[in-house]
Structure 1
């Protein structure tokens, strides 16, 4: 096997000596003596040291950085968004993944009984949306904010809805635009915190008429009469995806009216966005417009090697892209004997500078899960987390972020035959958002994926 050739003693890298060599040797001899004493009592290889002192090749302490790591991109089978507190809408072309489009769907609900007096006259109906500062795309470009359509069937309040249209069908009337005028075209700057979209007066009048005739006095009656709204980007937009609150009490459908006797006193009722599963968003991608998008997996749990995507893999939340790392020859470490102490195993995943852009936020962290042979997490409990660390490449001098985490316990468990060696999955720490990052593979020239394993052999 290829790893056995690279794992020979001649090619292993001894940990370099420090300037205080005498003190380090004394520390090492004490540690090795202690490990030998423990090893005499048991052949268990899972013991973890407190650290590895400086040494040379004659001490039995080694740094191994030639273990094969296979990297691939995996497509998760589903990403729920009805459990999110947000809406998302807009369109942007990611140069790597292709054109991403986000749409939101929600019900609105009565906060009180709506039985307006027959004398009330409609003034206007306005949809108020509350963006936060999150943007995915180029906010220097103008875009349509937003086109509003009526739902044909209500958004389920009991079933989970998903980001992929494959799993949740959004049933809205695409032929009936509710905007009173052309949707506003403007830049979606991060300081934009409120959107007021005036809807057709005929739509508002239908709601007022239904209330005055007692047809929407209860929530169930209201839902049957008015299933909800769809929020879409403009047909030709290519600017940014905008995140909005789905739980703000300042967001919702506002119906304004007055009495004939007092036209100067405006009254209103607020129909707030439904909580629970009553709202969701979807994100879909036209991957043919991206440089590597077409090569990425298209079927749930499909795995595509980094060799087919430019020696890089991807992690992206809303589209469900995850990176899988596998260590096929890890058990070959046993060639050093059974009396091994794995003191540390560290992975560094580097982000290619060419994939970074100020328009596309990277995941602030990874949630890392142990995988089964079918590319699924073996548990919903994370094995580890890794935070994004910005930096500069020592090879190119360009910006280059990294993610670092330890897999010491995983290596120990595999060598002890207590954990199957099926690798691990890297998922976005913000799984419902389209934050994405590319990671160099082990064969990448400038962004090499690194596994550094420190061990002490007592054989």
Structure 2
């Protein structure tokens, strides 16, 4: 409910009456489609010297939006693995790579095959439980690759790959690596099947791999998949590392002690990775299947989600913001602060990285496309970023992890008519990464999404 302080002087009496009438109309409009949770709590005393008033009873709506057009083919990274997220379901990441000739490949007819090894260079990035063992990595041949004129998307729906992946693994069965994906792992050498290695050596001897076009036609690339039973962590690899390669080893029988080899390097710009989540057991989210679709927080246990790689964003709407115009022509908003917290029931396990350190805020159209990036001053740091903080005070005055930022420019723009009130999209600044955060919805008893708006009237 709204409260007021005594006016500092009798001159404020007439202005206060107009303000009270306008705010009453605003509450009536908001109450028409809101639940008691939208009405909020009482307001602290206004400043008697400035005539400033706090409104924290505006209805807020929050939804999770799916936007699956995340491009990963422009990344210098690969991602492979699978882990179970209690909030988002089981998440699986796969990578697809092609290879390039490193100079002329013209092996002599007398050479004898030794082995074929795929060398990958993991960095220190892990997402999931690194105490569990997992297969590093299950390799499959591709029968075709994505044309160079097309992007590779994180969503399998946008870049279908299942029909391009041959079902049989080409790992050497005796050399499959199953271990914990510790951050100390800096080089991964995967022994591949002798059949594939011998085939490549024979193709080289027959001069069928003289050009890049020939290599692409005969060996379009490899799929890097998690093991069928894996449920541990996502592992990131540096695709642009010069040591990453498919290395064919052989020798000359006349000099068996001398190791000979040829490296097919990873093709620059011709690799990408994908991720998908099995959300079938997650309340509400299982129905989120269409790009730009949104699902209200009332259907997802009063929670919203942000996860860049899966294309999950949080949409925030203030449907009755324009009703503030009824307070008069000279209403001035001096502060508008949005607080979003991680719910008490959502615990960040030690196996997952912290939530996104910085979020972006966009205006949106009715179809949930991001329109303009808003420079939103952080309430805690003063910087033009929305930063994750482990100590954002909740309604009970207890510190709780979350985000707090200014929406002053948006509110002013809506009131002035310069911005259409379609709402705001909150998204990670690293859309191709799997860090996620769960935020409380507007109708929770605690850790709820809330807006505090200060205004003054000069009427």
TM-score, length basis structure 2: 0.84
CA distances 1:302-340 after superposition (whole Å, capped 9, x unpaired): 111101111110011111111100110111222332112
Q: Which residue of 2 aligns with 1:39?
A: none
Question: How much has 1:147 moved relative to structure 2?
Answer: 0.8
Q: Which residue of 1 aligns with 2:173?
A: 181
In structure 1, distance between residues paired with 2:120 and 2:179: 15
Query: Is 1:96 the counterpart of 2:87 in the alignment?
Result: yes
Q: Which residue of 2 aligns with 1:230?
A: 223
Q: Which residue of 1 aligns with 2:114?
A: 123
Pick aligned residue for 2:145 from 149, 154, 160: 154
Q: Which residue of 2 aligns with 1:300?
A: 291
Contact 2:88/2:279 (8 A) holds in 1: yes
Query: Is 1:424 the counterpart of 2:424 in the alignment?
Result: yes
Question: How much has 1:111 moved relative to structure 2?
Answer: 2.5
In structure 2, distance between residues paired with 1:394 and 1:422: 27
Question: How much has 1:449 moved relative to structure 2?
Answer: 1.1
CA distances 1:10-35 after superposition (whole Å, capped 9, x unpaired): x14669xxxxxxxxx9xxx9xxxxxx
* 1:166-315 mapped onto 2 (5 Å cutoff): 166-170=157-161, 171-182=163-174, 183-276=176-269, 278-291=270-283, 293-295=285-287, 297-315=288-306
Query: Is 1:405 the counterpart of 2:405 in the alignment?
Result: yes
Contact 1:106/1:155 (8 A) holds in 2: no
Q: Which residue of 1 aligns with 2:33?
A: none
CA distances 1:150-206 after superposition (whole Å, capped 9, x unpaired): 001023322101111111111434432111125211111122222111001221111
Q: Name the count of aligned residue pairs.
A: 411
Contact 2:283/2:301 (8 A) holds in 1: no
The farther-off stretch of 337-346 and 208-217 is 337-346
Pick aligned residue for 2:47 from 42, 49, 56: 56
Instruction: Provide the secondary structure at the position in 1 that maps to 2:198.
Output: helix
Question: How much has 1:220 moved relative to structure 2?
Answer: 0.8
Instruction: Provide the secondary structure at the position in 2 that maps to 1:101.
Output: strand
Q: Which residue of 2 aligns with 1:360?
A: 352
In structure 2, distance between residues paired with 1:73 and 1:14: 38
In structure 2, distance between residues paired with 1:286 and 1:140: 22
CA distances 1:350-393 after superposition (whole Å, capped 9, x unpaired): 112432222222222212111001111124x4554412112376
Contact 1:61/1:454 (8 A) holds in 2: yes
Instruction: Provide the secondary structure at the position in 2 that maps to 1:400.
Output: strand
Q: Which residue of 2 aligns with 1:323?
A: 314
In structure 1, distance between residues paired with 2:229 and 2:431: 27
Contact 2:106/2:204 (8 A) holds in 1: yes
Q: Which residue of 2 aligns with 1:390?
A: 390
- Residue ranges of structure 2 left out of the alignment (5+ in a row): 13-44, 377-384
CA distances 1:20-78 after superposition (whole Å, capped 9, x unpaired): xxxxx9xxx9xxxxxxxxxxxxxxxxxxxxxxxx9624632122222221100111142
Contact 2:317/2:422 (8 A) holds in 1: yes
Instruction: Provide the secondary structure at the position in 2 that maps to 1:401.
Output: strand
Contact 2:143/2:166 (8 A) holds in 1: no
In structure 1, distance between residues paired with 2:352 and 2:223: 25
Question: How much has 1:214 moved relative to structure 2?
Answer: 1.2
Contact 1:99/1:290 (8 A) holds in 2: no
Rate the CA distance shift 1:190–1:382 in 2: closer, same or farther, 3 A: farther
Root-mean-square deviation over aligned CA pairs: 2.4
In structure 2, distance between residues paired with 1:90 and 1:399: 35
Contact 2:65/2:314 (8 A) holds in 1: yes
In structure 2, distance between residues paired with 1:343 and 1:452: 11
In structure 2, distance between residues paired with 1:58 and 1:392: 29
Q: Which residue of 2 aligns with 1:111?
A: 102
In structure 2, distance between residues paired with 1:394 and 1:421: 27
In structure 2, distance between residues paired with 1:238 and 1:137: 9
Rate the CA distance shift 1:382–1:123 in 2: closer, same or farther, 3 A: farther
Rate the CA distance shift 1:449–1:14 in 2: closer, same or farther, 3 A: farther
Instruction: Provide the secondary structure at the position in 2 that maps to 1:81.
Output: coil
Q: Which residue of 1 aligns with 2:457?
A: 457
Contact 1:95/1:289 (8 A) holds in 2: no
In structure 2, distance between residues paired with 1:299 and 1:83: 24
TM-score, length basis structure 1: 0.84
Contact 2:119/2:245 (8 A) holds in 1: yes
- Residue ranges of structure 1 left out of the alignment (5+ in a row): 1-5, 16-24, 30-53
In structure 1, distance between residues paired with 2:419 and 2:395: 37
Instruction: Provide the secondary structure at the position in 1 that maps to 2:370.
Output: coil
In structure 2, distance between residues paired with 1:133 and 1:398: 34
The farther-off stretch of 165-174 and 233-242 is 165-174
Question: How much has 1:397 moved relative to structure 2?
Answer: 10
In structure 2, distance between residues paired with 1:265 and 1:145: 30
Contact 2:283/2:300 (8 A) holds in 1: no
